[in-house]
Structure 1
Amino acid sequence: MSPRDLPDSLLAPPDAAAAPAARPKPSIVLLVAMTGLGPFTMQILIPSLPMLAVALAVPYATIQLTLTLYLVGVALAQLVYGPLSDRYGRKPLLLAGLCIYLVGSVGAALAPSATWLIVARVLQAVGSCAGLVLGRAMIRDSYPRERAAAVLGYVSTAMAVAPMLSPIIGSLLHEHFGWRATMLSCLVFGLPLLVAVRAKLPETLVQPAPLPGLGGLLGAYRTLLRIPVFRAYCGITACATSMFFSFAAGGPVVVVQGLGHAPTSYAIAMMLVSVGWSSGTFTAARLVGRLGTGRMLRIGSGVTVAAGALALALPLLAPPSLLGFFIPMALVAIGNGMTQPSAVGRRRSACGRCWRARPPG
């Protein structure tokens, strides 16, 4: 497997020609809703996790699998949505994903056991991942480079706002109607989205590409992983992501059972983390042109490491408190927000060099 064999869904050239004006333009509102569906669904159940463990009579470690395996579902699904959509089109794959999502939402709302709930959450993850992957592909299909950057900005805002609001919505629904209402809210959000996508969203893929086959697909990813700088910048993202989701998985039990706060307090305090992330990405956007991506990566990583050290030291220096628990993580989010845009950009540059190594045709 050589760079010339990589499917275009894996290696999109960063300096590709502008998309033709005649291509159909998907609704930006629908793109934002599709992209925000996954983060919204992932976060909405987190404040309820301690009470879920009691309600379903399982250890907290078991109920944490509703988050862990959700992430596994997203990670695996995004590996196949791109190549399949290059062959069969964006819209059919998106409709299929939304149907899977709705089945998972119904299953989660009716779950009689933790095992049932975990399986339903994986279905939600696989289904919602379609919007995350194919929304970006549709933007690439439909807009010239300059306009695509602006549309991606709206999409990024949705990815920041959705996890900020969904824990609050989830905690309020749980307190007033029980945890099953949080899963029904996913159905209420997903069903109109399915109808809107079916009726209003155009197909943006102009020229279908042949499927690479399982061997070709695995070989393509193997080629990517042989690029040292690609692995390095993937590692930066992996470390940042693991810090956040370790915090998200353990945070509710610390806040609700350890500190004695209501789930709504956790959800409101979690906004500090979302604001930290948004502040970091805004800072990166303002400074990266002057400092460069390499220096921005070093500064952001330094902030993240210092915040992690503060998280370890603070419990030894002060009594446990809600702010003492969340402020270090908000600082971690600032550092991550500063590093991730540059890490993504450098990954794309590494892929672009590999893409340009392929001969024309």
Structure 2
Amino acid sequence: MKKISFIIILSTCILGPMGNDMFISSMPEMKSLFNTNHIQWFMSVYLIGLATPQLVVGGLIDQFGKKNILLISLLIFSIASICITMTNNYFILLIIRFLQAIGASAIIPCIISIAKATFKDNKQKLVTVISFIMLGISLIPILAPSIGAWLQFYFNWKGTFFFLFLLSCFYIILIKTKFKEKQKSSTKFDMLLFLNNYATLLKNKQFMVYSLTTACSYAILFSFLGSATLIYSNQYHVSPLLSGNLIGINGLSLFLTGALAPYFSKKLGIDRSVRIATYLLLLGGVSLVIFNTLFINDYLVIVISMLITSLGIGIIRPLAQAGAIHIIDEKMTGSAVSLMNFLTFGFGFTINLILGFIHNINTSDLSLANIILAVSAVLLMSAITHKKHIT
């Protein structure tokens, strides 16, 4: 496989996050159009749809191969994306949205499994490639809200999902024609192997600490994405176009720290880097409380505090995932990534569901959620403080 084709195939990982982030600027219009006070459920349903099949998806990838599962996932995602534009009923919309997330659920596990298989004997290259994948994902909070805002401006909320449909069709053609599967696919599902893989992962303390820390950090990100537009609109009276761009600015921290992740890994070790990053999460949460108290009517309160928080998130995701995947046997890579994603999306769904019940959510609600999750991440990483650093 040519290097450029390999890089473009890895970029398929952006599709799932784009499905979550691009519509953010359309939330006020959709809230009015569908006459609902629970528009955040549109994101919550997507997150639970990503989380629900994760454990099954991992076993399927490990046994039936990456290409087959990836193509099926992309097909489901593309069909659901175009179907979303065809309904005016909110309940039906949520059902289709859930199916869209089901399609997206296997994409990242497949892509990281491809990376693990390609660089299984070279840890530093694996860290670099996974950092590249996470870098691509971290670009989404920067670009997707802004792209979605412009699509909303020139078209309407449906423009976002038609764009996702076209992009998923492109990746289907690419994977079908360019990716050659090296793994020998099974023709029969082995339930005992499936259960043994997850039992092994759950017993691995270091793997679980990294997985839960990642879940806490991304729950903070999801809580921000799920509530930022509403807070900007209701509390600070910011337009959808500007709020989309403000969210994109916060994503710069994810991008910059993601780009530097291999350097941090080499200089400090993975566990030390991740532990420092959890303190950045806590600093961001505390600063949000302080800034909101001092400058209650300024939307830059959220922008600045979330920039600090995003620095921590940008370090945690690639390094924690690389550290966890490296210590796992290649034959369990799909299961390992899926378990991490299950926890990540599950935490994200839970926090968005809770925040979704808050009428007229404000900055104080967001800061409380962030601090609770940040403290949890700090405590989790303290569990491996006395273990030898991964280098």
Same fold per TM (> 0.5)?
Answer: yes
One-letter amino acid of the counterpart of residue 281, structure 1 = G
Tell me the residue number matched to 2:314.
337
One-letter amino acid of the counterpart of residue 109, structure 2 = V
5 Å-filtered alignment, 1:5-154, equals 27-59=5-37, 62-143=38-119, 145-146=121-122, 149-154=127-132
Q: Equivalents in 2 of 1:73, 1:26: separation in Å?
A: 31
Match status 1:222 vs 2:180: no
Tell me the residue number matched to 1:9.
none
- Taking structure 1 as reference, are residues 350 and 330 closer, same or farther at Cα in structure 2, changes over 3 Å only? same
The alpha carbon displacement at 1:91 in A equals 2.0
Q: Alignment partner of 1:27: what SS?
A: helix
Residue deviations 1:43-80, cap 9 Å, x none?
11112112211110111xx2212211211222233322
Tell me the residue number matched to 1:300.
277
Match status 1:188 vs 2:159: no
Match status 1:173 vs 2:151: yes
Q: Alignment partner of 1:328: what SS?
A: helix
Q: Alignment partner of 1:141: what SS?
A: helix
Contact 2:75 2:103 in 1 (8 A): yes
Structure exhibiting the larger radius of gyration computed from Cα positions = 1
The alpha carbon displacement at 1:288 in A equals 3.3
Q: 1:313 aligns with which of 263, 266, 290?
A: 290
Q: 2:264 aligns with which of 283, 287, 290?
A: 287
One-letter amino acid of the counterpart of residue 82, structure 1 = G
Contact 1:288 1:296 in 2 (8 A): yes
Q: TM-score, normalised by structure 1?
A: 0.82
Q: Equivalents in 2 of 1:290, 1:139: separation in Å?
A: 23
The alpha carbon displacement at 1:129 in A equals 2.7
One-letter amino acid of the counterpart of residue 182, structure 1 = T
Q: 1:211 aligns with which of 164, 170, 189?
A: 189
Q: Alignment partner of 1:204: what SS?
A: coil
Contact 1:49 1:63 in 2 (8 A): yes
- Taking structure 1 as reference, are residues 153 and 296 closer, same or farther at Cα in structure 2, changes over 3 Å only? closer
Q: TM-score, normalised by structure 2?
A: 0.76
Tell me the residue number matched to 1:324.
301
Aligned residues: 330
Q: Equivalents in 2 of 1:216, 1:183: separation in Å?
A: 38
Q: Equivalents in 1 of 2:55, 2:134: separation in Å?
A: 20
- Taking structure 1 as reference, are residues 25 and 145 closer, same or farther at Cα in structure 2, changes over 3 Å only? farther
One-letter amino acid of the counterpart of residue 87, structure 2 = A
Tell me the residue number matched to 1:243.
220
- Taking structure 1 as reference, are residues 28 and 327 closer, same or farther at Cα in structure 2, changes over 3 Å only? same
The alpha carbon displacement at 1:30 in A equals 3.4
How high is the sequence identity, in percent, across the aligned residues? Answer: 23
